Amino acid sequence: MPQVVVAKPREGKFNKNAARRVRAAGKIPAVVYGAGKDSVAVEVDPKQILQILHSESGHNTIFDVEIAGQGVAKAMIVDWQYEPIRDTLLHIDLKRIALDKTMEVSVPIRLVGVPVGVKTEGGILDQVLREVAIECLPTEIPSHIDVDVTGLHMHAVIRVSDLPHSSVSKTFKFLTAEDTTVAHVISIKAEAEPVADVAVAAATGTEPEVAKKGKTDAPAAEAKK
């Protein structure tokens, strides 16, 4: 993982054409902000950023960002854009952080083990929540939170209130509502019910209500002078 991400300040206009020229030169446009300082439009090496995003701690990784003429600051990746067809980075936002101040981040939840409700009771494990919001010092951010589900019986539920409040001696405070469902064991019949709803809808000529999933990110704004 790169110890220092070198960021070169951008000059001139900050529009789509300028961003394309940056990418054509093998870099990606970025913005560095936070810590009570002005935002700075920069360009960075996409290989360094991808190395960070693909590391164990991912976007929660703390690293040094060096801006020419402005010194070195601790930073994190807080937003990024992909071009889905080429699978390339288009833009990133970097936030300066203070190591002695708590911050809010989202960390992955990792289920460990096979529930007894799956092994012996014919159920299936459904993970409803894959990330949880926490508050902690930047140096105490866990790469993930492990949850033992081996004792989970049919119809049993694990909620945020059941999650461990520490991970490898790192302590943190949960911000996600305590009664939020993380995972539960459900019956195969219950999983198949939505299919039956579709069949009924087809017979009656009505359309079943479908919940929208996923998130569409709006393009990150270019930094203004």
Give 217 or 54, the one with higher predicted confidence: 54
Ranges of each domain in the chain: 4-96, 103-204
**Residue 132, pLDDT above cutoff 70:** yes
Specify burial of residue 195 (Cβ count, 10 A radius: 0-12, 13-18, 19+). Answer: exposed
Residue 1 pLDDT greater than 80, yes or no: no
**Would you say the CATH fold of 103-204 matches that of 4-96?**
no
Mean pLDDT, rounded, for 25-43 = 93
Q: Is the CATH number of domain 103-204 2.90.10.10?
A: no
Residue 35 in this model has a pLDDT that exceeds 90: no
CATH of segment(s) 4-96: 2.40.240.10
> Per-residue pLDDT averaged across 54-80, rounded?
91
Q: Is the pLDDT of residue 200 over 70?
A: no
Per-residue pLDDT reduced to its tens digit, 95-110: 999 999 999 999 999 9
Q: Residue 107 corresponds to which amino acid?
A: V
Least confident range of 71-80, 94-103, 144-153, 208-217: 208-217
Cα gap 30→22, rounded to integer Å: 10
All residues at 6 or more sequence positions from 131 whose CB lies less than 8 Å from its CB, including other chains: 106, 107, 108, 109
